[in-house]
A and B are shown apart, each in its own frame.
Chain A
Amino acid sequence: MSANDQTASKYRAFSPARIFAIATNTLTELTRQKVFYVLLIFALVLIGSSVFMARFTFQQEFQILKDISLGAMSIFSSLLAVVATARLISQDVEDRTIYTILAKPVPRFEYVLGKLAGVFLLLAISIAVMAMLFVAVLYFSEQTVLSQTAHEMSRAPQEQRNDALNSVRAAGLNVEVFAGVAVIFLKACLLAALTLLVSTFATTNVFTIAVMAFVYLIGHLQATAREYWLQQPGANWAARGFLAVIALIFPDLQAFNLVDAIVAGAVIPLAIFTETALLGIFYVVIYTLAAIFVFYGKEL
């Protein structure tokens, strides 16, 4: 059997195992760079805020806890997504590690997917840890308020007491909280995919991070700007087309902001959640494909 025949028989054009190897290596790289310290900051913010909230009514307490925790989770995961992803490829090129990887039987798309999957794993772990911490604090606060309410209303009629307990439960931990966490994860994945795309043609990490800061700003403002322009009497097809292009290039990050509704105690309909999730997945797929396309044409 010649070397050529052996090559043909061993090689597989697509290997999830290779992608997984790159993903776990990326995760190891990021964790050993101590990016998880972000979680420590989150924990401090959360614990600090829960101590501060002792003076409020339970509705206010739960609202502020949700607001601060989900808001902090959204900001920290977005920050983590951009900072962790920005240097992944450029560092490999600079250190020439990329030569040794791509000189192995690794197609370029697997390399990009592996790197991105590594960041997604990091985000999943980080958000899961933050969510567990948040849910634990919220759960114990709720239990404390429930027992206090039950004690205070021990002599009240059964129906009145149940109403009071149910109002505590409604304001506390509910399924909307988990929907909010899932959307925060999707938003962070979207930002990671877009950062990877920018880093495939950026020359420095600073440029990538600067572009992403700009994208983050535009992404949060574009929905408001769009509504304003479309309500103008002179809004024509050209303006609509321009806004559609802007919406494709810059993701509508405001669409991923369910925190305000959750804090206000609104019920998130399944249709809205599904629509938001699909929008997030759509953006992630588009940006990942674009990153792979640009990376294939890159001279190393």
Chain B
Amino acid sequence: MTDLAVAVEGLTKVFPIPFRKRSIVAVRDLNLQVEAGEVYGLLGPNGSGKSTTLKIILGLISPTRGRTQIFGRDSSEVATRQSVGFLPENPYFYKFLTGTETLRFFGKLCGLRGWDLKDRVQELLDLVSLTDARNQRLSTYSKGMLQRIGLAQALINEPALLVLDEPTAGVDPAGSRDIRNLIVDLKTRGVTVLLSSHLLEQVQEICDRVGILAKGELVREGPLDELIAIEDRTEIVLENASGKLLKEIEKLAAKSKAKVIERRTSTTTLERLFLDATTEKAPSEPRE
């Protein structure tokens, strides 16, 4: 169990409703394992128990039953958070602080001092492209900028485990792409990432494994490729294929009792189209 970044065993969380006899079961008998170095996506609709699970893993709320561990230690121990970074959903930071002051504050909480702190703050401001806005108060930041400063504070202590709750919620496609690229980059550096999201297409691009929560229960889990693969179907993508060639392929398929189900022109994604359109360079010379 010590080789795991996160281990959740038989986790149940019940929230009693004050002054009523009823209670809400937010998470029910959840078992989950995140291996060190992987990107794990916790998926599910709103109210499925994703955020509650993450909060229990981080020791912010206590479980009704079961246990959670981070790198082999009970996650209720404050010491485990020395190696964890967390970005909550729609984070609001102290609006009266500037970007630099925010990172310095969180750095001090993690034990950073002096030049180490100064260098780390500068490095992170560069990483999340907020160097120019470093002396602005957070009250003037856009939602995307707040998300990026949030990500920077989560990375201040060079965590071995990064927990992200809806990291791209409310961020425009370009910002969202930057965050995804950053997650991929962190993975190559050996950082384990546990993220929750309901933006499935984005999760599909970056996660090694996913778990799907519904009404507090884990209903599916496994490597992404295996989960979404349709076993008896194969896709071939061709470039510059003539009509004659396509007809021959269909004939060959029919001969071997296979069936061509769909034939269509390849398309780009709407996101790619958006990014290409919004990052296009302006023409160098005016048109006549």
Contact = CB atoms under 8 A, between A and B. Distances in A.
Interface of A: 2-4, 6-8, 10-13, 15, 17-18, 21-22, 25, 28-29, 32-33, 95-97, 99-107, 299-300
B49 interface: no
Given A4-B2, A11-B78, A104 B58 contact: no
A298 to B, nearest CB: 9
Given A10-B111, A100-B106, A2 B82 contact: no
Contacts, number: 112
Given A103-B81, A299-B62, 11 more contacts: A7-B79, A21-B105, A21-B108, A25-B97, A96-B90, A103-B88, A103-B163, A104-B106, A105-B82, A300-B55, A300-B60
B94 A29 contact: yes
Interface residues of B, number: 47
Interface of B: 2, 5, 15, 36, 55, 58-62, 71-73, 78-94, 96-97, 101, 105-106, 108-111, 113, 150, 153-154, 157, 160-161, 163
18 contacts: A3-B160, A4-B2, A8-B79, A15-B111, A18-B108, A29-B96, A32-B96, A33-B96, A96-B90, A99-B55, A99-B88, A100-B86, A100-B153, A103-B58, A104-B81, A104-B106, A105-B82, A106-B78
Contacts of A107: 78
Contacts of A101: 106, 109
B220 to A, nearest CB: 28
Contacts of A10: 82, 111
Contact of B83 (A6, A99, A102, A300): A6
A10 B72 CA distance: 17
Contacts of B2: 2, 4
A8 B82 CA distance: 9
B71 A4 contact: yes
Nearest to A21: B108
A100 B153 CA distance: 8
User: Which of A17, A25, A104, A105 has the most chain B CB within a 10 Å cutoff?
Assistant: A104
A266 B180 CA distance: 72
Contacts of A21: 105, 108-109
A105 B82 CA distance: 5
B78 to A, nearest CB: 5
B82 A97 contact: no
B86 A4 contact: no
A95 B92 contact: yes
Contacts of A300: 55, 60-61
Contacts of B71: 2-4, 7
B78 A25 contact: no
A18 to B, nearest CB: 6
A25 B81 contact: no
A13 B36 CA distance: 26
A7 B82 contact: yes
Contacts of B82: 6-7, 10-11, 105
B79 A11 contact: yes
Q: Top 5 nearest A-B pairs by Cβ distance?
A: A103-B86, A21-B108, A3-B160, A95-B92, A11-B79
Contacts of A106: 78, 81, 109
A96 to B, nearest CB: 5
A7 B80 contact: yes
Given A4-B71, A6-B83, A103-B81, A96 B92 contact: yes
B196 to A, nearest CB: 14
A114 to B, nearest CB: 9
Contacts of B36: 3
B160 to A, nearest CB: 4
B183 to A, nearest CB: 18
A236 B106 CA distance: 56
A34 to B, nearest CB: 10
A68 to B, nearest CB: 33
